[in-house]
Homo-oligomer: A and B are copies of this chain.
Amino acid sequence: MNIKPLGDRVLVEPVQAKEEKKGGIIIPDTAKEKPQEGKVIAVGTGKIDDEGKKVPFNVKKGDKVLMPKYGGTEVKVEDKTYQILREDDILAIIG
């Protein structure tokens, strides 16, 4: 089964952040708005700009990203949970 997000939306699989000693990203529990790690599964059909051209995505399939935990819409496909959110809501790419 295949999910193609619409417009500037992105399908992301949340990744449980491991509490590593060094090099890992640990989301502080006290943060007002908790970000969440995830992996981009699919980018959308693309946003159209004022001149009718498609705006390229900054993220691509496979990218690891930081996103707000409660900013998108949760869907379940084949027992896995994903998030569909607009690309502009993604905070950063983790490399």
A interface, CB within 8 angstroms of B: 1-7, 9, 11, 22-28, 31-33, 35, 44-45, 48-53, 55, 58-59, 65-66, 68, 70, 73-79, 81, 84, 87-88, 90-95
CB proximity of A91 to chain B, nearest CB, Å: 5
A68→B76 contact, CB < 8 A: no
Cα of A6 to Cα of B87 in the assembled complex, Å: 9
A50→B50 contact, CB < 8 A: yes
CB proximity of A29 to chain B, nearest CB, Å: 10
**Contact of A95 (CB < 8 Å), options: B2, B22, B28:** B2
Cα of A76 to Cα of B22 in the assembled complex, Å: 11
Q: Which residue, of A2, A91, A92, has the highest number of chain B Cβ atoms within 10 A?
A: A92
Residues of B contacting A5 in the complex (Cβ-Cβ under 8 angstroms): 91-92
Residues of B contacting A87 in the complex (Cβ-Cβ under 8 angstroms): 6
Cα of A85 to Cα of B50 in the assembled complex, Å: 23
